[in-house]
Structure 1
Amino acid sequence: MLPSWLTEDYVQKALGNFYKDNQLRVQKVWAKPATEKGENFVGVMTRIYVDFVQGDGTEQKKSYILKQAVPANAPQAKLFGEYDVYNRELEMYDVVLPKMANILREAGINDKLMAEAVIVDRERTIMILEDLAPLRYTNADRVKQLDMVHTKMVLDMLAKFHAAGMVLNQREPELLSRNYDAHFFSRSKKGYGEVFTGLFRAFIRYVKSKPNLKNRYADKLENIITNLMDYAGRSVDVGEKDLKTLIHGDCWTTNVMYLYDDEGNPTTVLPIDFQFSTLTSPAVDLHYFFSTSLQSDVKQQETELVQYHYYALKRTLEALSYKGYFPSLFEYQLQFEKRRFLSVIIANVFQPIMVYQGSEDCEFVNLYQDTPEGIKFQDSMYEDMEIQRRVDTLLPVLDAKGLLDAH
């Protein structure tokens, strides 16, 4: 069902401007949902199909993606309104990402940085984007997660993204000083505090259900929960000697899309979904990505992966003739380690949602509210044997690093 305002005239005007073709004529528009229930909590995505004739008489049949805010009566609407995620993503597609792509092109780096925006309509808080599916972009399997080849491609992409963000912030600091401070763990916002606290309580419930974990960690985790968002907030703080740039903010398996060659090898990767792009340390993207998206054997090489990203970032900044502070590898590893608390939260309470294969109702409120349906869903997340194995592996490491103590 198309919104009433999305008429053939509206689409025709948008496509005419996008293709710079005043003679373009739309003949037919129809649509169907672009995501399944539970795949995208932040917005509503609709695939629009358009038959049109170009000014030179060429007939075209193309599809596009309409991104809209969740309905005002959705339980999460207020939360996403507080973090201003929709206006932020509109500006990313309309202003920031094109500027970043231009910065990279200046150095001969012509990688595609995003899906092209056909129209960014701030009045209606919507975007129509090119559909990446016909271009053969596809997601990797969120449950199987990423091997080393897929992982390094994302790190190369993030290095270009972070480098372009650093140069843009140097050139136009006022642009990124607006509306790019609201990460999940921002102290000035409250909404995600309730979400993460609810998720963390579910994690503690699981730990208490396992005697060997309960005896060692339950009390420590109970003490953490009162300072949860403060500890996480410190992880996105940036000091004077910290690298600072625009990060993707929500970089995980489902928010990157790959192109593959005929042998099934990935050749290109493209980021999507920029609602949580934030001005902070690039190490925040690395922790988020490592904690949500990597196969276990790949994650074990985390230190080498930080090194890989560091050198890719350094090379890109040199190509961009960046003039500014850049840390040594040792200093950058310390900046990454300083944000290790993020893995306490993300690996233990976010990743189980991201690889969930169960049958319980995955409505947004069920992720964190202690209703009967919510508790049923949350408990079912930890029934996965791989998640249990990861918790068993991760908790001793976090404990040994002092992250489960007051700090």
Structure 2
Amino acid sequence: MLPTWLTEEYLQPRLRDYYKDDQLKVLKIWDKQATEKGQNYVGLMTRIHVDYQQGDGVVQNRTYIVKQALSENVPQAQIFIEYDVYNREMDMYEFVLPKMKELLQEAGLDGKITADAITVDREYSTMILEDLAQSNFVNADRVKQLDLAHTKLTLELLAKFHASSVVLKQRHPNLLTKSLFTHFFARDKKGYTEVFNGIFRAFMRFINEHPELKRTYGGKLEKFSGLIMEYGARIFDVNEDELQTLIHGDCWTTNIMFQYDDAGTPRSAIAIDFQFSNYTSPAVDLHYFFTVSLREEVQDLEPALVDKYYSDLKASLEQLAYAGAIPSLQEFRLQFERRRFLSLLAHLFKPLIIYNGSEVTSDFSSVYKETEEGLRFQKSIYDSEAVIRSATRLLAILDDKGFLDLQ
């Protein structure tokens, strides 16, 4: 159902401004829910249909995405408010992303890294965005995960995004608002402590139900109980000699959309959802993306993928005329490796991300709370051969590299 304030009179001046058509007239608005129950925990998304007449008399029908903050009485909304995710995303769409697009275009790079914002309305905590589906962008299958072609396109996108943010900070530092310097594990905030401790306990119940995993890794993993948030904070800490960029912050399959050619081959990628963007090491995006979004055979190519990302990043920084030191490949590999523990933290969400069962919940707290519904949902998402294989592979890597030993 459309918000009562979203009327023809409200939308018309905003579309006139976006399309630069002072004679544009909105004729009709109607809505269709843009996401199914259980698919979006952070906000409300609605696809609206709009009939409008252009100044030249041509009548168009277009769709747009209306993205609203959750009502404050929704339980998880308080966590998102504490971490300023709604203002952060509005800042991204209103100030940061348009300037990044402009920088890329000026450098002769494709500037399309996300949907355009038709309007950002802070009074209603709402954004009206371009509907990328109208340009034939679609999501890949989150359960099947991404093959090599999709992965390479996403890395090229991340390289442009990260590179343009470095130049943005250099030339327009005032655009990076306070909210862009906080993250899930921020030491001055507490909301996500319950979330991560809860999903870590769910992970430990899973480990303890599988004798081989329990025998091999159970004791080491138990030592991290109560320390998850500090280990997460260390990952986001950046040394002076390390490259810092704006990161997407939630880079996984559903937050990347692809265009395809007639043969079904992916040709371009674009990012959506910037509630968790922040300024830190770009390796954070890579570890999260690699852990939760790639097929096993693509994960096995990790060293080559890191090298490809670095090559794309370096080329983009050079084309953007970045006036600063670019780390060497070896330095970047070390920067990536220092944050490998993030792959364990990201994996805590992987059972939910690739879940394809019948249990559905619209309450984010079911992911981490030990209520009857929560425990049932957590058991259901972990009941998967894919999760067992993934956890076994990941823990072997982390153990071999010494990341399961307390530092």
SS state of the match for residue 134, structure 1?
helix
1:306-344 Cα deviation digits (max 9, x unpaired):
111001000111111111121111111010000011011
Give the alignment's TM-score, normalised by structure 1: 0.98
Assess if the C-alpha contact under 8 Å between 1:352 and 1:381 holds in 2: yes
> In the aligned structure 2, how far is the partner of 1:244 from the partner of 1:206?
35
Q: Report the 3-state secondary structure (helix = DSSP H, G, I; strand = E; otherwise coil) of the residue aligned with 2:274.
A: coil
**One-letter identity of the residue aligned with 1:185:** F
Task: Give the partner amino acid of 1:240.
Answer: E
- Tell me the residue number matched to 1:355: 354
Does the 8 Å CA contact 1:283/1:339 hold for their aligned counterparts?
yes
Deviations 1:48-81 (A, max 9, x none): 1111111111111111110000122211100000
Contact 1:224 1:405 in 2 (8 A): no
How many residues are treated as equivalent by the alignment? 406
Give unpaired runs (5+ residues) of structure 1.
none
Q: Secondary structure at the match of 1:141?
A: coil
Q: How does 1:189-204 map to 2 (within 5 A)?
A: 189-204=189-204
> Structure 2: how far apart are the matches of 1:110 and 1:302?
26
Q: Which amino acid letter does the alignment assign opposite residue 65 of structure 2?
A: I
Whole-angstrom CA distance in 2 between matches of 1:59 and 1:361:
41
What stretches of structure 1 move > 2 A for 4+ residues in a row? 172-175
1:43 paired to 2:43: yes
Letter in 1 for 2:86: Y
CA distance in 2, matches of 1:393, 1:319: 38
Alignment map for 1:120-199 (pairs within 5 Å)? 120-176=120-176, 178-199=178-199
| Preserved contact between residue 182 and residue 189 of structure 1 (Cα < 8 Å) | no
Contact 2:287–2:343 (CA under 8 A) maintained in structure 1: yes
Kept after mapping to 2: 8 A contact 1:235/1:339: yes
Deviations 1:25-45 (A, max 9, x none): 111111011000111111100
Amino acid at match of 2:90: L
Give the letter for the 1:356 counterpart: Y
What's the offset of the Cα at 1:172?
2.3
Which consecutive residues of structure 2, in runs of 5 or more, have no partner in the other structure?
none
Q: Percent identity?
A: 55
* Offset, 1:177: 5.3
Q: Secondary structure at the match of 2:181?
A: coil
Equivalent residues in 2 for 1:193-342, closer than 5 Å: 193-342=193-342
| 1:4 to 2:4 alignment | yes
Q: Which moved more, 1:356-365 or 1:230-239?
A: 356-365
Q: Distance in 2 between matches of 1:214 and 1:19?
A: 59
- What amino acid does structure 2 have at the position aligned with 1:278? N
Answer yes or no: is the 8 Å Cα contact 1:361–1:373 preserved in 2. Answer: no
Task: Single out whichever of 85-94 and 12-21 deviates more from structure 2.
Answer: 12-21
Q: Which amino acid aligns with 2:210?
A: K
Displacement of 1:346: 0.8
Return the letter of the residue paired with 1:353. Answer: L
RMSD: 1.1
Give, in angstroms, the shift of residue 91 of structure 1: 1.0
Give the drift of 1:173.
Answer: 2.4
Hey, what's the Cα distance between the residues in 2 that align with 1:326 and 1:56? 50
Residue 161 of structure 1 aligns to which amino acid in structure 2? F
Q: Which amino acid aligns with 2:2?
A: L
What is the alpha-carbon distance in structure 1 between the residues aligned to residue 238 and residue 42 of structure 2?
27
